[in-house]
């Protein structure tokens, strides 16, 4: 699992968001938000988590 600070890695953050959007449009990914944590999943694999 990868944790990235948004302020320091905004380009990478944007990449993850666009990657998720692409996968979501193809029905290949699920995202859920709990409090300030965003998790992207593909199947049972956690791809990314971001914490404020």
pLDDT digits (tens, 9 = 90+) for 6-50: 555 667 677 777 777 777 666 665 555 554 445 665 665 666 655
User: What pLDDT, on the 0 to 100 scale, is given for residue 31?
Assistant: 56
The contacts of residue 29 (CB under 8 Å, 6+ apart) are: 20, 23, 40, 41, 42, 47
User: What pLDDT, on the 0 to 100 scale, is given for residue 17?
Assistant: 73
User: What's the rounded Cα separation, in Å, for the pair 34 and 25?
Assistant: 22
User: What's the rounded Cα separation, in Å, for the pair 44 and 35?
Assistant: 21
pTM: 0.35
User: What pLDDT, on the 0 to 100 scale, is given for residue 1?
Assistant: 47
Domain boundaries, the chain: 10-51
């Amino acid at each position: 699992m990868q944790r990235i600070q948004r302020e320091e890695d905004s380009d990478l953050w944007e990449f993850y968001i666009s990657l998720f959007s692409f996968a979501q449009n193809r029905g290949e990914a699920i995202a859920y938000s709990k409090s300030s944590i965003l998790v992207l999943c593909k199947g049972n694999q956690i791809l990314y988590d971001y914490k404020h």
